[in-house]
Structure 1
Amino acid sequence: METLIIQISDLHFEHKQWERELLFLEDELQSFNNRLEELVERWTHHSVLAQLEHYQNQFIRQHEIIDSLLHDINVHETDMFEHDKKGELAMNFNLAKKHFLLRERMETQRMIYHDLKREFFKFLSKHM
């Protein structure tokens, strides 16, 4: 059986990609919130306002998830740095497992965010 060696530098690269992606999503959420503010001024119908509130809540939740992911990435990065300081170039099993769990969370976040964004754009096309 072949042993797979996971290099810390490879995971560090992936962390940086994730951080950039999450920061982009935060910026995008801010622009979505700005759009919500425009719609609140434009619409007074109860059903539209309820939908606006729904999206506002979803954007708040997305921001919380992004913050949580950024935090967990930074914690993992710190753990990897400590191993690197000790001269360990390859990951141990526990650190690799944590990384793979973070990767799954990122993939799930991408799907959820994409669906929310698609729904929001459909909503905007009806009410802008």
Structure 2
Amino acid sequence: MEVPTQSTDLQAQCSLWKSEVEQVRGSLRQMRGRLEEMAAGRHTNHERMVEIEHFQNQFIRQLEVADEMFHDLKQSAKTFANGRPAIVHLDRPVDDYDTLHDRMQVFHKLHDELKGEFNRFESYR
């Protein structure tokens, strides 16, 4: 993996990642809207409602993770600009490019898996 070395490159990478997080947030909102339509349907049995609640919980949690990620990326951009962290999270370092890169990969992987699972569920209407 090629690590940007200039603070402007690191800031640009953080901006790109923030944009990606915003896209995931939009995707989650769209899926949540479709889920609400399913829940309002007249032919929703108990088993289907259990699945709907599962996805509702997954969307809530993934939006929380997106909020944390977005916040940490903002802090990282400040860190890379100033040379020191504005806020340090022991469980989620914001001043380490490799850690942020890994977190973004996991973030995308989890979103892609949830999206695929939801699309399969949705297709069984």
What is the TM-score when the length of structure 1 is the normalising length?
A: 0.82
Deviation of the 1:118 alpha carbon: 0.4
Correspondence for 1:125: 123
How many aligned residue pairs are there? Answer: 113
CA distance in 2, matches of 1:121, 1:72: 29
* 1:39-87 deviation line (CA, Å, top 9, x unaligned): 0111430100000000000000100110000111111111122139xxx
CA distance in 1, matches of 2:17, 2:4: 22
Matched-pair identity in %:
30
What is the TM-score when the length of structure 2 is the normalising length?
A: 0.84
Greater relative CO, 1 or 2 (CA 8 Å, sep 6+)? 1
* 1:15-51 deviation line (CA, Å, top 9, x unaligned): 1111111101111111111101100111430100000
Deviation of the 1:5 alpha carbon: 7.6
Unaligned runs of 5+ in 2: 85-93
Structure 2 counterparts to residues 1-128 of structure 1, below 5 A: 6-42=5-41, 43-83=43-83, 95=95, 98-127=96-125
CA distance in 2, matches of 1:59, 1:74: 22
Unaligned runs of 5+ in 1: 85-93
